[in-house]
Structures are given as structure tokens and as C-alpha cells.
Amino acid sequence: MKILSGEIVEITSTNILIAFLIIWSIIYIMNTTKKQQLEKKSDNGENETPMGLKIYYGLFGILRTSAGLKIIDKVGKYKFWRKLSLWLIPICMVISILTLYMFITSTINLFSGTVPKETSKPVIFLFGNLIPWIPGIVALIIGITLHELAHGIVARAYNLKIKSTGLLLGLGIPLGAFVELSDEFKETNNKIRGAVASAGPIANVIIFFIAIFAMPFVMNIDSPITISNVLEDYPAQGVLLKGDVIYSINDHKINSLTSFQNAVKDIKPKEKIKITILRNNELKTITTLTTTKEGLIGINAEASASISFILQTLYWTSMLNLMLGFFNLLPALPLDGFYIWNALPELIRDLKKGNKILNKISTITEHLINERSLTSISLMVWGLIFVSMAYSFM
Ligand SMILES: [Zn+2]
């Protein structure tokens, strides 16, 4: 079954990209001319930016807005975020250790040739190729925005100041939002920094689960199920055609992806199946035998374009959020994982203030996990990432 493709989505993706490029060019020209006018008018040397927009290398933009600050203030005033976020530190620690383990084994597999080089290419190179543009961008916007918002909310709950919020733009396409913490973050204690750091990746993990759980509901929505592809040298070849709408299989009415899945899941090899299709407004019933080995007739089917699009978006939202969350948990500065690991000794010590045993464990932990050892791990992680990426392009 081919639910993760849809030609209609591909075409609109390109069109929308072109539209964004045109809009970006207009914004870019407007921004530069306005800036020149401002520079001519006032010679105070201050780098004033019209529209709150700053453009980097002509490709990327940062648009500062106050909308994010208001949301963070409203949600972050509840102090229960403090307690909750402290609980997130040990959860993140466990995921982080798993991530580090997977990262190291996958790097070993890459260089021993067990996995294809393509797997270590930066995700951005998969866009338009493996990852469809719009669902991929929507997934990134949701992931980056909620990740940053979660950091901001917990920071606010600890009364830390937020310097600014805004949107990240790549060629005019919003790629997500950012929350810039004030210098107070650097000066506060390790435990609070760990709590603030934990909130971001956990937001991504929660989005992963929401997207995964939403998929069956979407698959259950009424939609015509159309044959999108007939495989060569399979029983369906010459009998069923691309574009046929599947009306029923073995007298089970097909009106959604779920009903299609249920109708085909128990079909066995060499089984006689009856398919009723709608072709040129006429119902037609055909009977065919499934293949001897796999029990297939050789068709791919898909739901309507809109349902396919929603499913694609949910699928990539789940996948990219899992990747975002896990990647940020690597204990490498400036990623969140660094602050989470660094919080551990203080977190253990403060479990019960004045407890001698906990104090001892905390001191031992601090010998192993401290800013110095974490900086070494950071160098190792970034070194491996850099070398793997270079190797994937060789
Ligand atoms: Zn983060």
C-alpha cells in the first residue's frame, strides 16, 4: 500500500516553493532599500532593522516578534512547570544515553560499511527527495517551534528573563521559531539549566506520540481508495488499472484506508479473491488468484489527495520530531543534552538536602560528569558528526 506518496502533493510543493522564493525576493529587496534609506537619514551608526527582520547571507532571516513572549509569559507563570521539568531530567538522561549509544554504533556501522553512506547525510539533503517538501517543512515548524516554546515556558517558570522570540526563515520559508534566553541562564545553577534544557526534547517526543496516535484516526476517515500502481508480472496486471476505485474486496466494502487494510490483511497465498472496482462510472467485478509465495495481486492503493497529504504530514511530523528530540539530547555543547548531563550531580545532591549518602553519590558523579569531561565528549561527538558527514559525500 502506498499511502506516503501522492503526485498532487509533489506538484503543489514545487509551486509553493516558487511562490516563497518570489515573496522572499520582494521582502529582500524591500528590506535592503529601506535599510539604505534609514542609513542615509540617520548617521548615528545604529544598526536599525526595518520590519524587525535581519537577513544573513541573503538566504536566512530572523524576524523578531513579541507574540512568542506573550504566550511564554502566560503559560510560564504556573510554578508547577518547575517540579515537572525536574522530573524530566532523569527521563532525558535515559534517552540521552540510548541516543549516544545508537550514535556511536551507527558511526561504527557507517565506517565498517554495514549501513549505506546516505544515512549520514544531513537531513536537509533528504528534502524533496525522500522527504516531501511541505509535510517536511510543516513537521520542522511544529518541532522547532514547540521545542523552543517549551524551553521558554520552563525558563519563565524559574523567573529567568527571555531576551527575544522570533521566526527563523530560510528563503522566506518559516523553518521554526526561536526563544533567546537572557544571560541569566548562563549564571543560574546547573539543576535549573538542566530542567530548562529537558523541556525542549521532551516536547518533541510528545509531538512524536501525538502524531503516531493520530494516524489511525485519519486512516479511518471516509475516502475513495484508488489504485495508484499496478505491478508488472503480478496477477493484477492487465486486469486492474491505475485509477480504478476499489469498491469492495471479497464483499467487504472499501471506504477508507483502514477498511482496505482490514480486507487485505488475512489474504493468503493462492487464494481466490473477488474485487469490485469502479471504472468509468461502472461497477466491475473481477476474480483473481494471489501469488503462490507472498499472497499478493500486485497493486498499490491510496486514499484521496487530502488524506494522503495529512498522513504524510503526520508521518514526517512523528519522524522528524523524534530525530530532533534525540539529536538535541546528545551530550554535546551547545545541544540540550550537555546541560541535562551537567545537572545530574546537583539533582542527586538536592534529592534530600543534607543527606550524607546522596552527598557522597553526588560528589562521585561530579568526578565523572562535569563541564570538563562533557567538553571532551562534545568534541568527540562533533568530530564524529563532521567526519561521518564528510565521508557520506565521498
Ligand atoms: Zn533545545
Are the CB atoms for 336 and 205 separated by under 8 Å?
A: no
Residue 285 DSSP SS3: strand
Rounded Cα distance between 125 and 136, Å, is: 12
Tell me how many degrees the CA angle 29-35-41 measures, rounded to the nearest 5. Answer: 140
pLDDT for 14: 67
pLDDT for 58: 73
Ligand 1 centroid to Cα of residue 162, in Å, is 14
Ligand 1 centroid to Cα of residue 272, in Å, is 55
Question: Percent of the chain at pLDDT above 70?
Answer: 91
Ligand 1 centroid to Cα of residue 155, in Å, is 12
pLDDT for 46: 47
Ligand 1 centroid to Cα of residue 147, in Å, is 6
pLDDT confidence band for 3 (50 / 70 / 90): very low
Ligand 1 centroid to Cα of residue 200, in Å, is 5
128: its cell numbers:
524533496
Ligand 1 centroid to Cα of residue 139, in Å, is 16
Q: What is the mean pLDDT of the chain?
A: 85
Ligand 1 centroid to Cα of residue 144, in Å, is 8
Ligand 1 centroid to Cα of residue 178, in Å, is 9
Q: Write the pLDDT tens digit of every residue in 251-310.
A: 999 999 999 999 888 888 888 889 999 999 899 998 888 887 787 888 889 999 899 999
pLDDT confidence band for 113 (50 / 70 / 90): confident
pLDDT for 51: 59
Ligand 1 centroid to Cα of residue 103, in Å, is 18
16: its cell numbers:
509553493
Question: Does the pLDDT at position 123 exceed 80?
Answer: no
Ligand 1 centroid to Cα of residue 376, in Å, is 20
Q: Write the pLDDT tens digit of every residue in 8-23.
A: 444 456 667 777 788 8
pLDDT for 93: 95
Q: Write the pLDDT tens digit of every residue in 364-387.
A: 988 998 889 999 999 999 898 888
Ligand 1 centroid to Cα of residue 194, in Å, is 11
pLDDT for 340: 95
Q: Write the pLDDT tens digit of every residue in 178-218.
A: 888 888 888 889 999 999 999 999 999 999 999 999 999 99
Ligand 1 centroid to Cα of residue 133, in Å, is 24
Q: Write the pLDDT tens digit of every residue in 31-43.
A: 788 777 777 765 5
Ligand 1 centroid to Cα of residue 337, in Å, is 9
Ligand 1 centroid to Cα of residue 173, in Å, is 21
Ligand 1 centroid to Cα of residue 254, in Å, is 44
Ligand 1 centroid to Cα of residue 324, in Å, is 9
Question: Does the pLDDT at position 321 exceed 80?
Answer: yes
Higher pLDDT, 148 or 45: 148
Please give the model's pTM, rounded to 2 decimal places. Answer: 0.81
Tell me how many degrees the CA angle 91-95-96 measures, rounded to the nearest 5. Answer: 110
Question: Does the pLDDT at position 128 exceed 80?
Answer: no
Ligand 1 centroid to Cα of residue 49, in Å, is 27
Domain positions in the chain are 2-48, 69-219+308-392, 225-302
pLDDT confidence band for 48 (50 / 70 / 90): very low
Ligand 1 centroid to Cα of residue 120, in Å, is 21
| End-to-end CA separation in angstroms for the chain | 35
Residue 254 DSSP SS3: coil
Question: Does the pLDDT at position 6 exceed 60?
Answer: no
Alpha helices in the chain (DSSP H): 7-41, 67-76, 80-112, 133-157, 184-187, 190-219, 257-265, 305-328, 336-349, 356-368, 371-392
pLDDT for 203: 97
Ligand 1 centroid to Cα of residue 225, in Å, is 41
Q: Write the pLDDT tens digit of every residue in 51-104.
A: 577 877 777 788 887 778 888 989 988 889 999 999 999 999 999 999 999 999
Residue 8 DSSP SS3: helix
Ligand 1 centroid to Cα of residue 165, in Å, is 14
Ligand 1 centroid to Cα of residue 197, in Å, is 6
pLDDT for 124: 64
Residue 245 DSSP SS3: strand
Ligand 1 centroid to Cα of residue 30, in Å, is 33
Identify the CATH class of 225-302.
mainly beta
- Report the pLDDT averaged over residues 361-365: 89
Ligand 1 centroid to Cα of residue 370, in Å, is 20
Higher pLDDT, 66 or 323: 323
Counting beta carbons within 10 angstroms of the beta carbon of residue 227, is it exposed (0 to 12), middle (13 to 18) or buried (19 or more)?
A: buried
Rounded Cα distance between 22 and 45, Å, is: 31
pLDDT for 34: 79
